[in-house]
Structure 1
Amino acid sequence: MESSRKERGNLTLFLGAAPGVGKTYAMLTAAKQQRDRGADVLLGWIEADNYPDTRKLASQERFNSASPRSIQYQGNQAYEMDTQEIIKRRPHLVLIDNLQHVNVPGSLKPKRYWDVEAILAQGIDVYTTLNIQHVESLNDIVTQIVGVKIIETVPDTFLEHADHIQLVDIPADELIGRFNQSYHDDNKKEKLLGFFRVGNLNALREMTFRYAAQRLDSQLEAYMHAKHIPGPWPVAEKLMVCVSASPFSSQLIRMGRQMAASLKSDWIVVYVQTPQGMPGSEKGQHQLARHLQLAEELGAEVVSVTGNQIAEELLTLARSRNVKQIIIGKPNRLRIVEWFRSSIVEQVIRNSDGINIHVIPGKPKISVDKETKSRSVSAFSWRPYAAVTLFIALLTVILHAFGLAFDLVNIALIYLFPVLFSAVYWGLRPSFYAASLGVLAFDFFFVAPVLSFTVADLRYTISFVVYLAVAALTASLAARLRQQLNFVKQREATTATLYALSRQMTAITDFNSLLENISNQISDTIGTQVAIYLPDPIDDLKVTASSSSHPVWGKGESEMVIARWVYEHGEMAGRGSNTLRESPGLYVPLRTEDRIYGVLAVNLEERAPSVVAENLRLLEAIGGLAASAIARVKLGEEAKLAHLTAESERIRTALLDSVSHELRTPLATIIGSATGLIEGDRLFSSEDRLDLLSTIRDGALRMNRLVTNLLGMVKLESGMLRLRKKWCDVEDIIGVVLSQVKDFQQHRKISVDLPENVPFLLGDDVLLEQVLVNVVSNAIKYSPDHSEIIISVRQDDHGVTLTVADSGIGIPDADRIRVFDKFYRADKTRHVPGTGLGLAICKGIIEAHGGTITAAPNIEKGTLIIINLPKGDQSFMYPIDPEGESRTS
């Protein structure tokens, strides 16, 4: 066997025309051969109770079997295949009977073929069985043949992924004999007796052969394409199926699937949503959602467009997508209606222009169950009719009291107001009621003879008919306008939600604010609880954000289990999805093309199925937006972290290089001088010994400055720097600095230029001394011998300015800002020993005092370091001395 797992397992389908042909027996035989070759074979689910030979083979071969999963359903104990155990055991091959099986509510997935899909996704091979009547696209044909509606079906799109199809068949007579021997339950036998007829079985066998041949042809064509074998390839024609909320649409979709398979073409299922054509009832909306889901399961591209004219929108889409075949259902309408208004089918045929139109007549059985009737009765509201009655009664009283002098035509026009008002606010039926009631009131109170429904002048009868026609027309237009307005509001709300989310997500950079905004926006739009799950550092999901109005929902154990499953598998789960649909919440993975960032959960417990379907599409779009926004913020954080890591590595390298260099030189000097003193006690004179000791001291001072700078930088970086502010005499600070640099000043002259009144500063004198020592030390290092360094002090209304000017090599324009960065050194200064920390520490200390430090070119040559510091209220500290002079040392 393979040493490494495949990304997806192989699916082998044992296909038969009916139960009893020997599919399970053939599957077990093939599995035995695989086991003999060394494969690890596991029985996932086998049903062989009615077939002794199959049961005997399964027991003789002693295959390993997975334990079933126990589920409580309606007070009874039910058993289903345990998919999670199969995946956990990870066999090479698993055997699963009855691919079409529908799992009991409470199972992880509602249908067995979804369980098989999950197993295949783990790289496990699957053998499974199926009868031809359970193929979704053949469902209507099978119903016509056997007279029974098949409920358990498998979509063609899933079956197309089968790697191998093994046909299992026996003659019809032999199958009937096997049926009579296998089924001993008279009730069950009687139910299946109509199915097991020679004519039915032969028709099903023919369908099985055709289906297998079609799949073989598709596999052969795919093989020739893959191997670049030339051949007469058919030109694919795109097919379009038009659907609505009618139950007949499911038959159109299955027919479209068969035709698309025959033509080897892509196909589209389209629904045109118009304001006047929207499904009015919840049942109709749910029916439409099921049609679109069926189309997706059968492999169609589902397109939903909006417009006012269905035929025009269909043909526009067909031409834009290069559709050559259209399947449309023929409506069941009275012929007299078609005399006045052409049907959608006629409009499509009239304007098709080269597109082939397939009109499928159908007479679906429309039955209204008790639930629908009760819902219709409960949905009826008497308030609009009571309001209309009161409105017309009040209007009649007013007209009778003040409007008898009006012309009857004007009075009739006034009665149109209740009609228009009720059409706009309450719909079509209340407006028709208003029109009828208005005619009766007009006739009874204003048309002679008054207070009687009798009409003396027959011309008024025509007027009444015209009035009713005008009222009906205006009411229809007003009601349609109301529908269009509601339709536009619904679309606008969805668009506004997506726009607001995308705009806010783009603007927000803080991660927590982003999650809070997403949850609250969804909660406000849908009006329910929202939770967002994100993984912690150990990849365990936590509720990271939730809607502020419902912060508790989503933290229960059941919700956490579903959220973890969605995060691990990257699939939607919960209500309205294909997994754990009994759950009240809908869980959407927040995923991009390459990563899953978390899970979005929305509570849809009390929502109708149609509302769930509408929210499903909206939440999918929002989930994509949210995942992109989270990815953007995460990417920004990762980029910052990468930048910080790179910067830390650069600083670490620079620190090691600088420190090792700066320590090595003074240490070597100290060691050499100390060694000379020890070993050459009698060789050196007193002056030589003093020189060596001076060298040791200079090296120690240099190391001390290095350690002081390092400690200062550590304090600045960690935020541990604390200023001990007090009033400091600038002259004293400069004096201390001059004494510290005196030993390595060598042959350079340092001059100090002080103002008439030497200012005081409110600051930390020790840190300010360190700043000046670093600046003056740099000036000494980069200035030639016998040059002058000038320290000057000036004050104005804004503060005190200290300037250190040298005549050294200077700083290039491009480096004057960067010299204050940690470990940065200009190229022209690298020949001079140094760490690049001195000016960085100076900048941190000066900014901590609320000041600034900058570098500028000196007038002739060299560098000017300018330090600006704020001053406090100093007027009370010393009197002004008009006789004062500038002092220079």
Structure 2
Amino acid sequence: MQEPTEKVSRPGNRLAPVRLLVALSGGAEDAALVRSAHRLAIRDGVNWCAAYVDSERENPHRREVLEQDFAQVQRLGGETRVIAGQDRARELAALARELKVATLLVGHARPSGWRIWRRPVAERLARLGGPFDLVVVAEARQRPRFRPRQREIQWRWRDPVVAAASTLAALGLAAGLESWLELGNLSLLFLGAVLVSAMLAGTRSAMLAALLGFVGFNFFLTDPRHSLAMVEQDQVVTVVVYLLVAVVVGQLAGSARKRLLALRASREQTYQLLAFSRELAVATHREQVEAAGVATLVRWLGCPVVMLCATDESGDMTPAQSAPEGTTLDAGAMTAVAWSRLHLRPSGKGTQQPMDTNWQIIPLLEQNRLVALMGLALGQRERPPSPDEEGQIDAMLRLLALALERTRLVADLEASRLSEENERLRSALLSSVSHDLRTPLASIIGSASTLRDLRDQLTDSDRAELLDGILSESERLDRYIQNLLDMTRLGQGGLKLERDWISLDDLVASAIRRLSPLLQGLEVQREWPAELPLLHVHPALIEQALVNVIENAARYSPPGGSLRIEAGLDSGKLWLTVTDQGPGIEPHLRERVFDMFITGGEGDRGRQGSGLGLAICRGMLGAHAGTIAAEPGPEGQGTRIVMHLPLPDVMEVSDDHAD
């Protein structure tokens, strides 16, 4: 039984055909009918669908019951369909053939109203027949005795006014054309009055216009005049036929007007939902979604709206958005909020859990998870919302819940992405540090242990060589640690510029002196004008950046190769280049080499790089408003690293020192 339950629990599954169709009527028996269909679907392991034939004559109460029935069907894993038609049995039989269902489930109940002459739907379906099994579910409880419901007809002032005005206009035209037209043709004028009344005011106004036309036509146009009596038989036939045609035409025109108004209202609601969904789609953060949702509901409902944040982890309920600004909930509304948060159901005004408040509290749920709580001051409106308005409110709140859940998922995804990025950087750092620090430490330990254990057996030249190795590896280790410290300071914004005047000659000489062991066997060429101005920079930072660039160039230069350091002035900036004779950098990597931990086995990114040196250069030069870039070397051989440093105005530097 577990597998069939899983099959039917997914509404809208189009992979498997619908095998069970249940016919809803909008009555009290539908709840039991839906439960029976769900049990049969689970037992047989099939998909099922609930259908309703809409004749467009349903009252608001029946629509409300149908919405509840459809909601129950969707919760139980079924599909829902609404079919427009007048003959319920024929429409259901046609749908059953279209879906190729195996079983059609209907309820057994007496027809409603005075239409006791109509046969039950089950009997009419049995007469129509079809390639399906017809199952009739009887009501479990005793149906109360039928009593006709007295419905109060609410007349609007517009209905009689339109009917009277159109009838008087038709009577005036008929009086003016009486000498030209026959009596039968004059009746068409009153028929036109019925159509005008139906189009302007509806069916009730059309029926009133038909009655007024019948009386006016008989009283003013038939002999004897000013009397309801008729002598000639053709006049009787004309008046009676007019009345029958007027009643039929008025009903049809009123029904067409009602459908047109319903279509316009549906189009307006669809447009509002589309505009609302567009506003939510462009909102990227939760605050924007909340503001758009509250503003739209206030504009459409015309009553105060409050949105409250509610999480599953704590019981705190914090107002997130309210409109108009400063709107608060009263004590009864807060009680309703607490109840709705606990039971995940609406409460307050107009719900099954009424409270002493004008607010209606609706929980926004997504996959049984509480997203937020929406408070609507529906009790402050002049009239309660209609069933159509309630349906639109429900649709808007569903869209709002989806948008809020989307922002939460986006935030979680971003947090997960940042966590993965941090973890990747942490792994790269540990991998780089473990390699770059272990190699010089191993050399230092090996040389120091050799000096300690074999000190008497070593010659003076051997001891000096070992000490030089210890010093060289210690300086190398110091550079790695300095790079890590500088990168940390750059990332945390703790790098302070203590500027001083220094010449380019001193910077280059100091950097080459620090790298002298690494530059052995390489020819270092220096070329720049002697009249270069002094630089107003942080000497240690620029020197470290230059050390990183020269070290990177020396590491990938072939033995016996040359390094070329050039400098010059261009548009108020000092440019400095370091060119090597190494294998070069691929074009697609020339920008990425300045990112952290970008290591590889090709070109200038190779076997002994931590991926921090050039990244630190970019940060240090950027702190001085400078730039660094990688270009191909002369004739496509090697790499040229180009650095630019701005030359400050002398007056600006003097003002800075004065401050």
Query: 2: distance between equivalents of 1:586 and 1:548?
Result: 15
Report the counterpart of residue 110 of structure 1 in structure 2. Answer: none
Kindly provide the CA deviation profile for residues 305-341 of structure 1, in whole angstroms up to 9, marking residues without a partner as x: 2412333332234443432453354436778x97xx9
Task: Find the aligned partners of 1:294 and 1:637 in 2 and give their Cα distance.
Answer: 31
Which residue is 1:194 aligned to? none
Counterparts in 2 of 1:372-411, with a 5 A limit?
376=152, 379-393=154-168, 407=181
Contact 1:449 1:456 in 2 (8 A): yes
Deviations 1:320-366 (A, max 9, x none): 3432453354436778x97xx99977864553336548699988432
Give per-residue Cα distances to partners, 1:524-545, cap 9 Å, x unaligned: 5555555544456963443464
Give deviations 1:389-438, integer Å, cap 9, x for gaps: 2454456557767x677646776544444423332342211111123323
3-state SS of the aligned residue for 1:864?
Answer: strand
Q: Deviation of residue 808 (structure 1)?
A: 2.4
- The equivalent position to 1:572 in structure 2, one of 345, 362, 365, is 345
Say whether 1:865 aligns with 2:602.
Answer: no
Aligned match of 2:615: 840
In structure 2, how many angstroms separate the alpha carbons of the residues matched to 1:508 and 1:538? Answer: 26
2:427 paired with 1:642: no
> Does the CA-based 8 Å contact 2:340-2:346 persist in structure 1?
yes
Q: Contact between 2:525 and 2:564, CA under 8 Å: does it hold in 1?
A: yes
**Residue identity in the other structure for 1:351:** L
C-alpha contact (below 8 Å) 2:371/2:405 kept by paired residues: no
- 1:243 maps onto 2:25 in alignment: yes
- Write out aligned runs for 1:397-796 (5 A): 407=181, 412-442=187-217, 458-492=233-267, 495=270, 505=280, 508-522=283-297, 524=299, 529-535=304-310, 539-543=314-318, 545-546=320-321, 548-549=323-324, 552-553=327-328, 559=333, 563=337, 566-567=340-341, 571-574=344-347, 580=353, 582=355, 584-592=359-367, 596-603=369-376, 605-606=378-379, 626-659=400-433, 702=476, 705-706=479-480, 708-719=482-493, 732-733=503-504, 736-745=507-516, 746-747=519-520, 748-754=522-528, 770-793=544-567
Q: Kindly tell me: are residues 718 and 482 of structure 1, through their superposed partners in 2, closer, same or farther at Cα, counting changes over 3 Å? A: farther
Distance 1:577 1:622, change over 3 A: same
Percent identity over paired residues: 27
Provide the secondary structure at the position in 2 that maps to 1:827.
Answer: coil
Q: How does 1:778-817 map to 2 (within 5 A)?
A: 778-793=552-567, 802-812=576-586, 815-817=589-591
Distance 2:497 2:217 in 1: 94
In 1: Cα distance, 2:416 partner to 2:581 partner: 41
CA RMSD of aligned residues (A): 5.7
Q: Distance in 1 between matches of 2:190 and 2:387?
A: 42
Cα deviation, residue 837, structure 1: 1.3
How far is the alpha carbon of 1:838 from its aligned partner?
1.7
Q: Which amino acid counterpart does residue 716 of structure 1 have in structure 2?
A: L
Question: Which whole-Å CA distance do the structure 2 matches of 1:460 and 1:871 have between them?
Answer: 111
Report the CA distance between 1:763 and its aligned residue. Answer: 8.3
CA–CA separation in structure 2 for the residues paired with 1:668 and 1:456? 131
253 and 545 in structure 1: CA distance in 2 versus 1, 3 angstrom threshold: closer
* Conservation of the 8 A alpha-carbon contact between 1:781 and 1:832: no
- Tell me the residue number matched to 1:89: none
1:835 Cα offset (Å): 3.2
Judge conservation of contact 2:340–2:361 (CA < 8 Å) in 1: no
Letter paired with 1:322: A
Q: CA deviation at 1:481?
A: 1.6
Question: What is the aligned partner in structure 1 of residue 85 from structure 2?
Answer: 308
- Could you tell me how far 1:771 is from its partner in structure 2? 3.6
> In the aligned structure 1, how far is the partner of 2:213 from the partner of 2:258?
24
In structure 1, the residue matched to 2:111 is 331
CA distance in 2, matches of 1:256, 1:657: 63
CA distance in 2, matches of 1:410, 1:716: 97
What is the aligned partner in structure 2 of residue 274 from structure 1?
55
Give the counterpart letter for 2:197 in structure 1: S
Task: In structure 1, give the amino acid aligned to 2:85.
Answer: N
**Distance change in 2, residues 1:283/1:666 (3 Å):** closer
The Cα shift of 1:596 comes to 1.8
Question: Where does structure 2 lack aligned partners over 5 or more consecutive residues?
Answer: 5-18, 651-659
Give the conservation status (yes or no) of the 8 Å contact 1:604–1:612.
Answer: no
For the Cα contact (< 8 Å) 1:519–1:545, is it kept in 2? no
Whether contact under 8 Å (1:677, 1:692) holds in the other structure is yes
Q: Is the 8 A contact 2:600 2:606 kept in 1?
A: no
Q: Which amino acid aligns with 2:638?
A: G
Equivalent-residue separation in structure 2 for 1:842 and 1:365 (angstroms): 91
The aligned counterpart of 1:824 is 598
Contact 1:562 1:587 (8 Å CA) reproduced: no
Q: Give the secondary structure class of the aligned counterpart of 2:28.
A: helix
What secondary structure does 1:736 align onto? helix
Q: 1:806, CA displacement in angstroms? A: 0.6
**For 1:14-33, what per-residue CA distance to the aligned partner results, in whole angstroms no more than 9, with x for missing partners?**
xxxxxxxxxxxxxxxxxxxx
In structure 2, how many angstroms separate the alpha carbons of the residues matched to 1:535 and 1:294? 24
CA contact (8 A) 2:309 2:373 kept: no
Give the residue type in structure 2 aligned to 1:315: A
Distance 1:872 1:391 in 2: 90
Secondary structure of the 2:372 match is: strand
Which amino acid in the other structure matches residue 555 of structure 2? Answer: K
**Cα deviation code 1:42-89 (max 9, x no counterpart):** xxxxxxxxxxxxxxxxxxxxxxxxxxxxxxxxxxxxxxxxxxxxxxxx
Q: State TM-score, norm by structure 1.
A: 0.55
Residue 655 (structure 2) aligns with: none
2:147 partner letter: I
Unaligned runs of 5+ in 1: 1-217, 223-236, 875-889
Residues 474 and 605 (structure 1), Cα distance of their counterparts in 2 relative to 1, 3 Å cut: same
Deviations 1:119-145 (A, max 9, x none): xxxxxxxxxxxxxxxxxxxxxxxxxxx
Following the alignment from structure 1 to structure 2, what is the Cα–Cα distance between the partners of residues 297 and 576?
Answer: 26
Give the number of equivalent residue pairs.
Answer: 617
Residue in structure 1 matched with residue 130 of structure 2 by the alignment: 353
CA deviation string 1:68-115 (max 9, x = no partner): xxxxxxxxxxxxxxxxxxxxxxxxxxxxxxxxxxxxxxxxxxxxxxxx
Q: Is the 8 A contact 1:256 1:327 kept in 2?
A: no
Contact 2:498 2:538 in 1 (8 A): yes
* One-letter amino acid of the counterpart of residue 737, structure 1: V
Whole-Å Cα distance in 1 between the matches of residues 300 and 636 of structure 2?
Answer: 70
Give the distance between the partners of 1:399 and 1:798, measured in 2 at CA.
98
